[in-house]
């Protein structure tokens, strides 16, 4: 322990670092061999076409539970070629997540570009009692995913400075904040862009194969993800306090970049404080007005017979959330001075859209792959045979879902884009579990757990490299093995805790979202 204090706890035994580095290096080598996600979907579409030709030649078919015989459609036939050409634009423009995500980003992107999210996050973690610092950093990090990747750049270095200023190990703050943002990326009290994106892909897949299936709403995982936010705060805090901080020991600034130790947390300026105040007041007025359209039994946003679950309110939740973010951004921007004139609003929205160009390009390829997968009926054949195989193995319960969560975690080490990974896995697993009677929104929850927990382990995640850069500023001896040995307990224990929560939630039969049961 004494030696650990002298070296600041940032160096681990060589044998341990060796194992960690070999593990990371193997993942990195395998991941680097994968093509860019755009090209990955192009290659998969080509593979689907070839496989459909082979399966068609072999006369492969399946009988559905409705006693309908489904045969493989050949993508390399005349009909397949015509389908590929005639559906290309519709596959892209009609892809459910595209419009939903772009619309959401008008509001979220505007709030980000006027500085609203950064100021709120800084305000949340500054000037808090030392005993609550860990919990507040984690809470802010988990909620920070609403600002997308910006939170990964803002919160960890800010947490490190706060930890150092109160005599705690800055690397502990850095890592704890990064884990909260990255491993907790899918949890939140609010509906975020992730909810819109994943639910859109789920709807595209499940309705493409089962036309009578209901659409998956951005609200359909809200209960589980809101509860996950609370769980993550306490689990991450426990790991940080009981495992990471003791392991790091007392901080030794001898090996630090001196400039980082003298860095000061920028205090909020008066106009920024007024901006936050006015933004929340305006948002409060907006929420009251929306409530007046929902709470009365004859409210304008209620459905037939006063229904709330089947109502214009829930079916139009994305435009309502968009307006909320625009109100927050505009109120803050004009008060704080980051917006000078009305024309600045579309300009900053346009800047946010430029950042979505990579997503738009990816969607084009993913949409073609999913459309081909469904048109060839390969998805139906896999889902029916897969569900039959699970039934024969007596794996039709929670165990199968937990297995899917673990698969998602492992694959996430190589494909870090949540949207790309879900677009890849959803066409196979959503119909398979749908055949077993599970609601697609429930299957989506199982994926989100696995996708999030292992984000912090993947060397393919560019923010892991950024994190290592920050670590080296506080201790130049830090290496990838050091980082890995500290991240591994977080990843494994968070995944275990989340799976336990998922199992208990399932056993109790709780809804994962408003009106969304586990079973169909």
* Whether 181 contacts 148, CB under 8 Å: no
Report pLDDT digits (tens) over 155-183. 888 888 888 888 889 999 999 999 999 88
Question: Could you tell me the residue ranges of all domains in the chain?
Answer: 14-508
Nearest-5° Cα angle at 147, 146 to 148: 90
Report pLDDT digits (tens) over 380-408. 888 888 888 877 777 778 889 999 999 99
Partners of 63 in the β-ladder: 69
* Whether 105 contacts 251, CB under 8 Å: no
Distance of alpha carbon 32 from alpha carbon 35, whole angstroms: 7
The residue that leads in pLDDT, 255 or 88, is 88
For 257, counting Cβ atoms within 10 Å of its Cβ (0-12 exposed, 13-18 middle, 19+ buried), the class is middle
Residue 272 has what pLDDT? Answer: 92
What would the two tokens of residue 271 be? 């106009």
Name the pTM for this structure.
Answer: 0.81
* Whether 243 contacts 489, CB under 8 Å: yes
> Phi first, then psi: what are they for 338, rounded to 5°?
-80, -15
When the pLDDT of each residue in the chain is averaged and rounded to a whole number, the result is: 85
Checking if the pLDDT of 413 tops 70, the result is yes
Residue 18 has what pLDDT? Answer: 56
What would the two tokens of residue 64 be? 């559905």
């Amino acid at each position: 322990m004494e030696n650990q204090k002298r070296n600041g706890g940032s160096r681990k035994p060589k044998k341990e670092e060796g194992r960690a580095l070999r593990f990371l290096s193997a993942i990195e080598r395998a991941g680097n061999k994968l093509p860019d996600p755009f090209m990955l979907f192009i290659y998969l579409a080509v593979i689907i076409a070839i496989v459909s030709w082979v399966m068609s030649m072999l006369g492969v078919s399946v009988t559905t539970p409705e006693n309908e015989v489904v045969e493989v459609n050949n993508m390399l036939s005349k009909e397949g070629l015509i389908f590929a050409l005639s559906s290309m634009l519709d596959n892209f423009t009609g892809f459910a997540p595209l419009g939903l995500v772009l619309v959401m980003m008008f509001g979220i992107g505007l709030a980000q570009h006027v500085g609203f999210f950064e100021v709120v996050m800084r305000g949340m973690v500054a000037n808090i009692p030392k005993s609550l610092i860990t919990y507040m950093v984690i809470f802010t990090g988990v909620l920070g995913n609403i600002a997308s990747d910006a939170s990964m750049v803002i919160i960890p270095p800010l947490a490190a400075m706060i930890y150092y200023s109160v005599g705690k190990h800055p690397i502990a703050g850095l890592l704890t904040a990064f884990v909260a943002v990255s491993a907790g990326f899918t949890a939140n009290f609010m509906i975020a862009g992730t909810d819109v994106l994943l639910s859109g892909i789920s709807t595209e897949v499940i309705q493409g194969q089962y036309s009578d299936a209901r659409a998956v709403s951005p609200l359909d995982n809200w209960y589980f993800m809101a509860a996950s936010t609370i769980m993550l705060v306490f689990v991450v805090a426990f790991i940080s306090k009981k495992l990471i901080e003791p392991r790091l020991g007392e901080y030794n600034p001898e090996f630090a970049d001196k400039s980082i130790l003298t860095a000061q947390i920028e205090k909020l300026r008066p106009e920024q404080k007024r901006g936050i105040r006015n933004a929340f007041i305006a948002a409060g007025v907006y929420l009251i007005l929306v409530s007046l359209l929902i709470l009365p039994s004859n409210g304008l946003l209620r459905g037939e017979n006063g229904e709330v679950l089947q109502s214009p309110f829930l079916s139009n939740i994305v435009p309502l959330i968009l307006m909320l973010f625009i109100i927050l951004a505009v109120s803050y921007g004009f008060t704080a001075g980051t917006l000078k004139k009305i024309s600045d609003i579309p300009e900053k929205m346009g800047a946010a859209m430029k950042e979505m160009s990579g997503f738009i390009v990816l969607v084009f390829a993913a949409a073609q792959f999913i459309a081909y997968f469904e048109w060839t009926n390969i998805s139906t054949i896999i889902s029916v045979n897969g569900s039959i195989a699970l039934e024969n193995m007596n794996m039709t319960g929670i165990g199968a879902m937990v297995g899917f969560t673990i698969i998602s975690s492992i694959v996430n080490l190589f494909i870090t884009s949540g949207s790309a990974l879900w677009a890849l896995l959803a066409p196979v697993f959503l119909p398979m579990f749908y055949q077993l009677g599970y609601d697609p929104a429930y299957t989506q929850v199982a994926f989100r757990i696995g996708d999030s927990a292992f984000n912090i382990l993947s060397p393919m995640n560019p923010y892991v490299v950024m994190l290592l850069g920050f670590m080296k500023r506080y201790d130049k001896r830090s290496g990838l093995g050091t980082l890995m040995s500290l991240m591994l307990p977080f990843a494994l224990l968070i995944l275990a805790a989340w799976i336990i929560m998922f199992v208990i939630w399932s056993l109790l039969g709780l809804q994962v979202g408003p009106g969304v049961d586990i079973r169909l």
